[in-house]
Amino acid sequence: MLPDGCVCFLINLDRSPQRLQTMVSRLATLGVEYVRVAGVDGAQLADDEFRQHTRENRYYKPIRRGEVGCYLSHLKTLQAFLDSDARFALILEDDCQFSPAFLAALQSALALRETTHDALLRWDVLKLNRKRRRLVALAALTENTRLVEYGLSVPITTAAAVWTRDAAQRFLRAYRGTARPIDCDLQHPWEFGLNILALQPSPVTQGDVPSTIGNRKHGAHGPFAKLGYELRRLWPKLRHFGHRYGWGCIAGWLWRRELHYRPRD
């Protein structure tokens, strides 16, 4: 069962009934009720609509239909969240698998957010799957789970995350088109004014099923396109990280895989 005030939204394409059945079983095992949100199928978008959403490209290769569909599916889900009375939204894609620590870790993360006065610990988006090698350890949540900041590289994933209402409102207001895949947009939290943290170890993994978006490694781009993309966002990342933890942390980041943050309250 989820904590009070938190509602689970499950994104599922109409053409994926088997994935829905699998997720229904997994959520039932946890005792988690959910609201299904019919995903936007990028393959079914009219050409004019697809072009409208991809007028600007800030990525290093062309945006695919599946990426537009994924982005629109999450925007649709965030709007459903705001149309509800919930204070937090657990947003899941339909290929999630849950560790035994999932509910305890989520409950502890929500409880800490509700009681802390430290702005750095009051996340706007909490990512629940994928990890990075380097991290800032922020707070212990359970015996084996910590609240962490992955610093210079937010994990590329939208499979499982908890959103606040304020974060959902800001992200929806900022949308002007799918200039980058949504998980890559969320790697630029300074553009949206979002504090994006994570749980470590991740209590959610993704099942071994084919992506409904397709293989991101496919797609034409020049040999230096990705390098240019990374160089353009290098200074904003460093500035964002430095302002949050102090510029000395960046030097420590280069030499150590784990830094520790001392809470302010």
Instruction: Provide the 10 A C-beta neighbour count for residue 75.
Output: 17
Span 13-29, average pLDDT: 97
Cβ(125)–Cβ(154) under 8 Å? no
Predicted confidence at residue 246, as pLDDT, reads: 86
Cβ(16)–Cβ(212) under 8 Å? yes
Question: 249 or 220: whose pLDDT is higher?
Answer: 249
222-238 pLDDT tens trace: 779 999 999 999 999 99
Question: 174 or 244: whose pLDDT is higher?
Answer: 174
Please state at what angle helix 225-245 crosses helix 247-255, rounded to 10 degrees. 120
The pLDDT-based confidence of 152 (bands split at 50, 70, 90) is confident
The CATH code of the domain that includes 103 is 3.90.550
132-151 pLDDT tens trace: 888 999 999 999 999 999 98
Predicted confidence at residue 253, as pLDDT, reads: 73
Residue 230 lies inside a defined structural domain of this protein: yes
Predicted confidence at residue 220, as pLDDT, reads: 58
**CA separation for the pair 3, 104 (Å, rounded):** 10
Residue 156 lies inside a defined structural domain of this protein: yes
Predicted confidence at residue 182, as pLDDT, reads: 98
Q: Is the peptide bond before 155 cis (omega within 30 degrees of 0)?
A: no
Length of the chain: 265
35: amino acid identity, one letter: V
DSSP 176: S
Query: Residue 231 class from Cβ within 10 Å (0-12 exposed, 13-18 middle, 19+ buried)?
Result: exposed
Tokens of 233: 């966002």
Residue 1 lies inside a defined structural domain of this protein: no
Residue 265 lies inside a defined structural domain of this protein: no
Total number of domains constituting the chain: 1
Specify the pTM: 0.93
Residue 13 lies inside a defined structural domain of this protein: yes
Q: Cα torsion for 250, 251, 257, 262, to the nearest 10°?
A: -60
Domain that includes residue 213, residue range: 6-260
Question: 207 or 34: whose pLDDT is higher?
Answer: 34
Tokens of 8: 């689970």
Share of residues in the chain with pLDDT > 70 (%): 94
Residue 238 lies inside a defined structural domain of this protein: yes
Residue 203 lies inside a defined structural domain of this protein: yes
Cβ(162)–Cβ(92) under 8 Å? no
Cβ(164)–Cβ(87) under 8 Å? yes
75-130 pLDDT tens trace: 999 999 999 999 999 999 999 999 999 999 999 999 999 999 999 999 999 999 99
Backbone phi and psi for residue 160, each to the nearest 5 degrees, phi listed first = -155, 120
211-225 pLDDT tens trace: 665 555 555 567 799
Predicted confidence at residue 215, as pLDDT, reads: 53
1-16 pLDDT tens trace: 899 999 999 999 999 9
Cβ(136)–Cβ(123) under 8 Å? no
**CA separation for the pair 9, 74 (Å, rounded):** 10
> What's the whole-number average pLDDT of the chain?
92
Span 41-61, average pLDDT: 97
The pLDDT-based confidence of 257 (bands split at 50, 70, 90) is confident
Residue 189 lies inside a defined structural domain of this protein: yes
